[in-house]
Amino acid sequence: MIVTPELLSIKRSEWECHTDTPDTVIALVNTGFLEILNTTHSPVWAQKRIYDFFSDNGYDKYGFNDSECNQCATNVINKYYNSSINRWAFLELCK
């Protein structure tokens, strides 16, 4: 896994998405996630945005809204922002 402002590279095995997820989908998810990270200043907002990104773009059909992918996204967010949010931090925004 590579997480920098210039490059986000997360492999299928790290995402733990469905094994038949096309490489192009993983590349699109990584590109979209990097854009979210680079344009959001809060780890909690980044988490909400990536979860919405998964759903809004149909990536949930590849397992991207399953607990494993949500945990992977949260781990990446924590690494990028040097934070320590949990998988459910975005729920604070829904109150």
Model confidence band, residue 77 (pLDDT cutoffs 50, 70, 90)? very high
In tens, the pLDDT along 34-43 reads 999 999 999 9
Q: Which residues are 8's β-sheet partners?
A: 3
Model's pTM, two decimal places?
0.93
Position 95 pLDDT exceeds 70: no
Q: What are the residues whose beta carbons fall under 8 Å from the beta carbon of 69, sequence distance 6 or more?
A: 15, 16, 17, 54, 63
The C-alpha atoms of residue 26 and residue 42 are separated, in whole angstroms, by: 24
